[in-house]
Amino acid sequence: MSAAGRAAALAQLERARCCAACRLRADDRHSMEQSIAGLAVFGSGFGDAVAASRLCTLHDRLVSPRDTCSQFQPLPASASA
């Protein structure tokens, strides 16, 4: 996806206040593996079981990109470019 396409998609998600556009969502799969004990042992950190889910650093639980909550905090403008 181009940078312009990613920026447009992110803007649309932010308007919807989805977790995919929240700065509290740890978008790095490696950090998720480190945070969830035993996940790497089963090989699920990079598998279909996790898919697009990521760790919410506020709630300390897995969230899907389209999940929402009242603590939504938009990504900085530099992350959408």
Domain layout of the chain by residue ranges: 3-80
Q: What is the pLDDT of residue 80?
A: 47
Q: Which amino acid is at 66?
A: R
Alpha helices by DSSP H, 1-81: 3-16, 29-35
d(CA 63, CA 11): 19
User: pLDDT tens digits for the chain (81 residues)?
Assistant: 788 888 887 777 666 788 988 999 988 777 777 777 766 666 654 566 677 888 899 998 889 998 999 999 998 876 544
Q: What is the pLDDT of residue 23?
A: 93
Q: What is the pLDDT of residue 24?
A: 93
- Backbone dihedral angles phi then psi of residue 28, each to the nearest 5 degrees: -100, 120
Task: Enter the tokens of residue 16.
Answer: 């919807």
Question: Which residues, in sequence order, are CB contacts of 24 under 8 Å at separation 6+?
Answer: 56, 57, 58, 71, 72, 73
